[in-house]
Amino acid sequence: MTTSVVVTGLGITAPNGLGTQDYWAATRTGKNGIGRVTRFDSSSYPATLAGEVPGFAAEELLPSRLLPQTDRMTRLALVAADWALADAGVDPENLAEYDMGVVTASSSGGFEFGQNELQKLWSQGSQYVSAYQSFAWFYAVNSGQISIRSGLKGPSGVIVSDEAGGLDALAQGRRLIRKGTRMIVSGGVDASICPWGWVAQLTAKRLSTSDEPSRAFLPFDADASGYVPGEGGAILIMESAESARERGARVYGEVAGYGATFDAAPGSDREPALRKAVEFALADAGIAPEDVDVVFADAAGVPELDRVEAQALVEVFGERGVPVTAPKTMTGRLYSGAGPLDVATALLAIEEGLIPPTVNVHPAEEYGLDLVVDQPRTAEVRTALVVARGYGGFNSAVVVRAAA
Amino acid sequence: MTGRRVVITGIEVLAPGGVGVDNFWNLLSEGRTATRGITFFDPSPFRSRVAAEIDFDPQAHGLSPQEIRRMDRAAQFAVVAARGAVADSGIDLTAYDPYRVGVTIGSAVGATMGLDEEYNVVSDGGRLHLVDHEYAVPHLYNYLVPSSFTAEVAWAVGAQGPSTVVSTGCTSGIDSVGHAVDLVREGSVDVMIAGSSDAPISPITMACFDAIKATTPRHDDPEHASRPFDGTRNGFVLGEGAAVLVLEELESAKKRGAHIYAEIAGYATRSNAYHMTGLRPDGKEMAEAIRVALDEARMNPTEIDYINAHGSGTKQNDRHETAAFKRSLGDHAYRTPVSSIKSMVGHSLGAIGSIEIAASALAMENHVVPPTANLHTPDPECDLDYVPLVAREQLTDAVLTVGSGFGGFQSAMVLARPERSVA
């Protein structure tokens, strides 16, 4: 009998809401968090829009000594972890020494911090590089800093698989709990909205060049022409159902299934592997397609990728066989933050019985999807599927369901 | 947990001193060092000017011109190592369901070399804050996200199962393999191509380690600059490299008549929750990781024949680690040879963990314990048997290998003979 793993705390930092309450209030009503980049002047670049987390005052939320040594993504992650622990009612000091670990995903590390130090290196000289550069930009920084801040000594890890990584981190969190660790802080928070990160993202040729926030990111729309990148994500507290029961914790839901696959090399005649990831996740959860009440799509916003995803969903669920939504149309694509934020959103959807909408999109008929657009849809949601894909061919899927 | 056991059936190593397992093992068993003055760029502005570089010609190792262009050096290492490991194992991956073959590559700093070079160009030597996208190379996104390393390896070997990069700083190499072992054990996959790669010898990496004085300034004597456990040690020597392993479930490896190097019998990781770069001297959390790894292997401390140490050569690490061995193995720590191959191949950050797993497996294969080179001056705080200077022939059936890194991560892995009696 495998251990059932549940989510008992959420910490959200998203472009359309800071904190779970604000985020859900915005998301359920379709409030868009995409706008013109404010963190630097984007006017000289082909892409000018982003989903930025508004009003994040790190200096009020974190000790001042942490500020010079942290990138923005780490500050967001530390605050999200604080909120998640508080939401779960967990004080790590009251746990046994190795009872809690941290598994986060990252896609590109503390890239803005890295740009600043590279600039000093090349314009001033090596002796001007910050002593904090040795860890502030690297991919492990969020797990390390969260572990130190909250005193978490249990098994930890860091997963990097671009936008699929956030779901892979949750799966690794679940694996560690099944191996015997009581609780895991997991999820992903990313941010690389700096000129250097922007230029690197542009080279993938998937960023939307539209300068209209309501027309820039249109997954499954005939006018889809790329995506808008965003920052933020979610940190979740995961624990065994038994641990949650023992301490009388509020349970958002269970992480019931996971599947991951990788696409064959470009030019291969093998079929896209996304459908397999979805099927593996359903099988792992022990459910049939008809048990799924809603799908949170990866929603790349790139026509070839939208087609692959729509086809996979139609093959598994039938044409218009399940409601599909993409709340990330309100935030942009958050890289490793996307999967955990969608999982958090799915849990909130289960709690309220309401599917948040995909905004601004007029679904193209050819995809055969029942896309929840414009308005939220009231529905009994017990089981949700979350899909995420990473650049290069990473496909991951997670099933969450209402607590038993 | 299922009863599935995981074994190493293929190994390839790219390490300073030469590409390939034979070159690597010859270097280690002869106690030679591959550290030298930096040749990749002008090191004169830096405090530390020594590194362990690989003389690597990607074309000679089968990479096409386009593969070379789109891959950072560390990705090139990973692909060459993965192909070599698959060849060494003799496995025919086309006979497997591709969805049951996965890839994990560990890397601490990803495409640092490529990023450093490309930043210099798009910023025009650091002059432009609004860096110029017109000068960006088309594959820059592959440098932004080190997950591209795993993508390249998966394509190279035809894997379509669960695949990721594991990036826990300097324990990435152990944690990547540990992650892969868990996937085989739980039954999600049949085969994992697992290892790690880093190519960090670039100005930005040298500068940041200069800033915290983590690397040795001993550039007047580069060949003897890496001195783990020696009383005169004063920092590590940055290295580069990769090692990739083929991991399979024991019974299926036996069935196909594979050569089995070792079983990965136990693995654990813990965090010190103390400091991003600092270590408490007591070694407590590393000792806990060792204890749990032994427990998972269902082995007693006294069964360990050799400890392949992290042994970076910083003051704090070698003391911390020595304490951890005593704390976890008790008196047996004094009776067990401990050595650091970083004395010979330097510290390649995320890559070194898998390279050290490979060294551990080869020590079992050859019944030879590699030495700690450059160890002449005893340190009263490091009072174990560190196998100074000369390799030692001895029966080696079980090895403990450990890693410790920035972020506070402490990892331990136990390799053993699969035919041992498991209680």
A97 and A184 belong to one structural domain: yes
More reliable by pLDDT, A240 or B18: A240
pLDDT at B3: 87
pLDDT at A179: 96
Classify each residue of B126-136 as buried b or exposed e, where b means 16 or more C-beta atoms within 10 Å of its C-beta: beeebbebeeb
Q: Is A251 a member of any domain?
A: no
Q: Is residue B285 helix, strand or coil?
A: helix
A267 and A208 belong to one structural domain: no
Instruction: Say if A65 is an interface residue toward chain B (CB within 8 Å).
Output: no
Interface of A with B in 251-290 (CB under 8 A): 260-266, 270, 273, 276, 280
Q: Is residue B351 helix, strand or coil?
A: coil
State the CATH number of the domain containing residue B407.
3.40.47.10
- pLDDT at residue B423 tops 60: no
pLDDT at A2: 81
For residue B290, report the phi and psi dihedrals to the nearest 5 degrees.
-65, -45
Average pLDDT over residues A208-227: 98
Other beta carbons less than 10 A from residue B94's beta carbon: 8
Q: How many percent of chain B have pLDDT more than 70? A: 99
For residue range A90-146, list pLDDT tens digits in order. 999 999 999 999 999 999 999 999 999 999 999 999 999 999 999 999 999 999 999
Interface of A with B in 77-116 (CB under 8 A): 98, 101-102, 106-109, 111, 114-115
Structure tokens at A359: 């905004």
User: Which chain B residues are within 8 Å of A170, Cβ to Cβ?
Assistant: none
| Owning domain of residue A288 | 258-401
A239 and A315 belong to one structural domain: no
Q: Is A252 a member of any domain?
A: no
Structure tokens at A338: 């996307």
A217 and A187 belong to one structural domain: yes
A259 contacts A278 by C-beta, under 8 angstroms:
yes
For residue range A282-337, list pLDDT tens digits in order. 999 999 999 999 999 999 999 999 999 999 999 999 999 999 999 999 999 999 99
Mean pLDDT of chain A: 97
- B170 in catalytic set: yes
A213 and A308 belong to one structural domain: no
Q: Is A253 a member of any domain?
A: no
- pLDDT at residue B266 tops 50: yes
Domains: count for chain B: 1
A264 and A155 belong to one structural domain: no
Q: What angle (nearest 5°) sits at the alpha carbon of residue A180, between those of residues A175 and A184? A: 60
For residue range B184-206, list pLDDT tens digits in order. 999 999 999 999 999 999 999 99
Q: Is B88 a member of any domain?
A: yes
For residue range B351-405, list pLDDT tens digits in order. 999 999 999 999 999 999 999 999 999 999 999 999 999 999 999 999 999 999 9
Average pLDDT over residues B45-68: 97
| Owning domain of residue B322 | 6-111+146-416
Torsion angle defined by CA atoms of residues A82, A87, A89 and A90, in that order, rounded to the nearest 10 degrees: -40
Q: Is A376 a member of any domain?
A: yes
Q: Is B138 a member of any domain?
A: no
Name the residue among B351, B364, B336, B353 with its Cα closest to residue B401: B353
Q: Is B132 a member of any domain?
A: no
Tell me which of A246, A271, A302 is where a domain ends: A246
pLDDT at B421: 72
Tell me which of A246, A267, A286 is where a domain ends: A246
DSSP assignment, residue B165?
Answer: E
pLDDT at B1: 43
What is A83-112 written as a DSSP string?
Answer: HHHHHHT--GGGS-TTSEEEEEE-SS-SHH
List the single best residue of A74, A156, A333 to mutate versus B (max B Cβ within 10 A).
A156
A144 and B204 within 8 Å at the Cβ level: the answer is no
B129 and A40 within 8 Å at the Cβ level: the answer is yes
Closest-CA distance of chain A to residue B366, Å: 33
State the CATH number of the domain containing residue A325.
3.40.47.10
Domains: count for chain A: 2
A156 and A291 belong to one structural domain: no
pLDDT at B2: 53
For residue range A159-205, list pLDDT tens digits in order. 999 999 999 999 999 999 999 999 999 999 999 999 999 999 999 99
A270 and A242 belong to one structural domain: no
Which of A143, A161, A196 comes nearest B164 by C-beta? A161
d(CA A301, CA A307): 10
From the list B170, B179, B320, B382, the catalytic residue is B170
Which of left, alpha, beta for B244 (phi over 0: left; psi -120 to 50: alpha)?
beta
Tell me which of A225, A246, A267 is where a domain ends: A246
For residue range B276-325, list pLDDT tens digits in order. 999 999 999 999 999 999 999 999 999 999 999 999 999 999 999 999 99
Burial label for B331, CB within 10 Å (0-12, 13-18, 19+), is exposed
Q: Is B187 a member of any domain?
A: yes
